[in-house]
Structure formats: structure tokens, C-alpha cells
Structure 1
Amino acid sequence: MATQAPAAGWRRGSDAVIRGIGWISTVCGWVAASMILASVLITCQMIFVRFVLRQSTIWQTETVIYLMVAATMLGLPYVQKLRGHVNVDLVPMALRGTPRKVLAVLVLLSGIGVLGLIGWYGYENWQVAFDRGWRSSSVWGPPLWIPYAALPVGFGLMILQLFADLLALLTGRDTAFGLEDD
């Protein structure tokens, strides 16, 4: 009877975590794309109402702004999953093996730390807006906690994707910076 190494079960479990987080990131990408499409359609409706029907618009501009900010925040983990963020890989390309992997771990941990800090302050801002019942000063006046929620949620999901990337790197499921050693 074949026995498995003790690490094999942990690696299988980490695969499920990585796949689950990847699925969440993909859903976020679809939601973000839907928000961008909704923004385009609302902008078209606003143009029609203002310039064809010669009526004023109340909610459209603010809604488009909120949707675009939310799409940007919710799109972060999907773009990270696809490695679509802008990067300069001169140093990683110059390194090989262990130094490249150590640099990748440091970059991922630094990213988690910085985004955690930004996410925390975003959460505090959301909490204050929620507790105090802040509303937009426009005629429409939506509650501001709704658009403010995009910051902690988006950064939290980005941290989750960075954690999955770190886990994939540490378990050998991915290479440092997506580069193969020569």
C-alpha cells in the first residue's frame, strides 16, 4: 500500500484554497466588468435624457462615479490573479533560484501589509460614514456608506488573492514572478 508524504495532504488542501480564492477573484472580475457596462449604459441614458429630452439628470453622474470606483476596487483581485498589474521585473529577471523566490515572498508580504493598512483606514472611513448616517450632498443624496464599502471590500479581496499567490509560491504551485529559472 502506497503512503503519502505528510506534506501531500497540506498541499492538496492548499490547492483547494488557491482554487477557491481564484474563483472569488474571477467572480470579482465579472462583477467589475458588469459595473463598467452599467456605467456605460447609464451614461448613454444620461446623454439621451439631457440632450434629446432636454431634462435634468439627478442621479446618473454620481452613480457612474460610484460604479467606476467600485469596479476598480472589486477588479483588483482579478487583475492580480491574471498578473495584469504594472510591474518592473528587471531585478527579478536578474536573480535566479532562491534569491528570486525570497524577493517574491518579500514583495507579496509587503503588498499584504500595505494593502492591509489602506484597507483598515478604508474600513474606518466606511464605519464612520455608516455610524453617522453620512449622505451625499447632491440632490439625490444616497447614503455614503454604500460607495465607501468598496474600499475595504476591494482591498480585502486583493489581500486574499495576494495570500493565494503567496501560498502557491510557497507550495511550488507557482514560480516567483511567473518567471521560469533557466
Structure 2
Amino acid sequence: MPGVIRRGLDALYGAGAAIAALALLGIFLVMMGQVGLRFLGVQFPGADDISAYLCVATTFFALALTFKRGELIRVGLLLERLSPGPRRVMEIVALILAAIGSAYAVWWTADDVIFSWQIEDLAQGPLPIPLWIPKLAMPVGAGILLIAVLDELATVLRGERPSYVIAAEERAARGNFTAEV
């Protein structure tokens, strides 16, 4: 793959992970603010809602880089026992199925965002946040995951090894089996 495209894709996955990290930091700050305000006898309206929205953003924006690093749950038990030819075929089938699932998630969550926007859906908690705003993290994060899956599918179709396999092997070579549990 040309270097500019590879760097762009890797930057996209990194940006998604950075947004996930910022959302996680946001959860921490909201929770600490809530704890601090409780000591002062003051309520933090909407803290639970904001934390929930940030939790969704953390999850969806982290998907692509987690996938590329081989840290998502993956059933490799069967694939690892196959010889290279059948393994490549099954890897392609698995990636096609993952692409279909990711594309469906993008479509369904985008449809939900559009519907929330159309009906002007507001959060029912103390902060009347238009729900399409926090819901937007779902189709965007799933879209980045779809790009990552298609990236890996293209890699396997070119006859190369997927980055998630390489990453898992590198971790195992270092004696780190935490992602394999």
C-alpha cells in the first residue's frame, strides 16, 4: 500500500483512539467533579448521562485501533490450526463477515442518529441534550472500524499477513499473553 495512504489510515485509527482516550479522561473528570461536589453538598446535574455518553464514545472510537492491534475478541482457535492456504481463505471469509457486520452497525447507528435529529429527541435527564450529538459517536466509530476491517481484508487479499496476527505474535514473543485470554 502506498506510504501516504498507509500513514493516513494509521493516523485515522490513532485519531479514533485519541478521541476514545479523551472521552475516558472526560469520564474521570466528570466522576471526580461529582465526588468533589458531593463533599460540598452540591449536585452535578447530568453527570450520569454525560458519563454514559462518554462511555459510548470511548468504546466506539477505540474499536478500530484495538482491532488493528489484535486486541479485540477473536476466535483464532480454528484458524491457527489450519495450513496457510485454508487459513487465508477462512481469514478472508472472517474479514468479509466482519465488514458486513461493521457496515450494518454503521448503517443502523447512522439511521438512529438521523431519526433522533429528525424528531428532535432530547435526553430525559436534567440536561436536555439533543441525543443525536452523543449518538454520533456510534456511526463514526463503527465507520472507522469498517475502514480498518476493509484495510485488513485488502492486506490479506494481497497475500500479506494481517496486522492483528502480527501484533498478537509480537506480544506472544515478548511473553505478553494478556490479550489472548
Same fold (TM over 0.5): yes
Equivalent position of 2:91 in the other structure: 104
- Amino acid aligned to 2:5: V
TM-score when normalising by structure 1: 0.85
For 1:94 and 1:16, locate their aligned partners in 2 and report how far apart those are by CA, in whole Å: 35
For 2:141 and 2:31, locate their aligned partners in 1 and report how far apart those are by CA, in whole Å: 24
TM-score when normalising by structure 2: 0.85
Shift in Å, 1:177: 6.3
For 2:148 and 2:80, locate their aligned partners in 1 and report how far apart those are by CA, in whole Å: 23
For 1:126 and 1:167, locate their aligned partners in 2 and report how far apart those are by CA, in whole Å: 30
Two-structure CA RMSD over aligned residues (Å): 1.8
Shift in Å, 1:20: 2.0
CA distance 1:120–1:33, shift in 2 (3 Å): same
* Aligned length, in residue pairs: 167
Equivalent position of 1:148 in the other structure: 135
The answer for unaligned runs of 5 or more in structure 1 is 1-11
For 1:31 and 1:145, locate their aligned partners in 2 and report how far apart those are by CA, in whole Å: 18
Percent of matched pairs sharing the same residue: 22
* Pair 1:133-2:106 in alignment: no
Equivalent position of 1:54 in the other structure: 41
Please state whether the residue corresponding to 1:90 is helix, strand or coil.
Answer: coil
CA distance 1:42–1:78, shift in 2 (3 Å): same
Given that 2:156 and 2:162 are in contact with CA atoms closer than 8 Å, whether structure 1 keeps it comes out as: yes
Equivalent position of 1:7 in the other structure: none
Shift in Å, 1:19: 3.4
Given that 2:152 and 2:162 are in contact with CA atoms closer than 8 Å, whether structure 1 keeps it comes out as: no
Equivalent position of 1:6 in the other structure: none
Equivalent position of 1:92 in the other structure: 79
Shift in Å, 1:173: 3.8
For 1:146 and 1:175, locate their aligned partners in 2 and report how far apart those are by CA, in whole Å: 34
The answer for unaligned runs of 5 or more in structure 2 is 170-181
Equivalent position of 1:118 in the other structure: 105
* Pair 1:39-2:32 in alignment: no
Shift in Å, 1:74: 0.6
- Amino acid aligned to 1:30: A
Given that 1:18 and 1:164 are in contact with CA atoms closer than 8 Å, whether structure 2 keeps it comes out as: no
Please state whether the residue corresponding to 2:71 is helix, strand or coil.
Answer: coil
For 1:86 and 1:61, locate their aligned partners in 2 and report how far apart those are by CA, in whole Å: 28
- Amino acid aligned to 2:118: D
- Runs of 4+ in structure 1 off by over 4 angstroms are none
